A and B are shown apart, each in its own frame.
Chain A
Amino acid sequence: MSDYTDEQLILKYQQGDIKSYNEIVARFKDRLLNFINGYMKDYETSQNLVQDTFIKVYTHGHSYKEISKFSTWIFTIAGNLAKTELRKLKRRKTYSFSQLSTKDMEFNLERFSSEDNKDVSVERYEKYKAILEAIPKLSEEFRIIIILRDIQELSYDEISKITGLAIGTVKSRINRARLKLLEMIR
Chain B
Amino acid sequence: MDYNNFEDYIAAYLDGELSDEQKNKFEELMESSEECKTKFKQTTGLLNDLKSMPTLETSDNFLTKLHQRIELEQKSKANFIENAIQYFSFSNVKPVLSFAMSFGAIAIFTFIYLNDLNIFNQGIANNDNSKSILKHESIDIELASGIEEDDFSIEESFLTGDSDKDSLEENFKKSKTKFNLTKIIKDVIKEISETPTVTNENK
Q: Write the residues of chain A forming the contact surface with B, with a CB cutoff of 8 angstroms.
A: 22, 25, 29-30, 33-34, 37, 43, 46-47, 50-51, 54-55, 58-59, 108, 111-112, 116-117, 120, 124, 127-128, 131-132, 146, 150-151, 153, 156, 171, 174-175, 178-179, 181-182, 185
Contact of B58 among A33, A55, A182, A185 (CB under 8 A): A33
Question: Does B10 reach chain A (CB closer than 8 Å)?
Answer: yes
Taking CB atoms, residues of chain B closer than 8 Å to A58 are: 70, 73
Q: Write the residues of chain B forming the contact surface with A, with a CB cutoff of 8 angstroms.
A: 7-8, 10-12, 15, 17, 42-43, 46-47, 49-59, 62-63, 65-66, 69-70, 73
The answer for the CA separation of A67 and B15 in the assembled complex, in Å, is 25
Taking CB atoms, residues of chain A closer than 8 Å to B62 are: 29, 47, 50-51
If A108-B56, A174-B11, A182-B43 touch, whether A55 touches B50 (CB-CB below 8 Å) is no
Contact of A128 among B42, B53, B56, B73 (CB under 8 A): B53
Taking CB atoms, residues of chain B closer than 8 Å to A30 are: 55-58
Contact of B59 among A37, A47, A127, A150 (CB under 8 A): A47
The secondary-structure label for the interface of chain A is: helix
Contact A25 B66 (CB under 8 A): yes
Contact A51 B51 (CB under 8 A): no
Taking CB atoms, residues of chain A closer than 8 Å to B7 are: 175, 179
Taking CB atoms, residues of chain A closer than 8 Å to B8 are: 175
Contact of A150 among B10, B12, B47 (CB under 8 A): B47
Contact B63 A34 (CB under 8 A): no
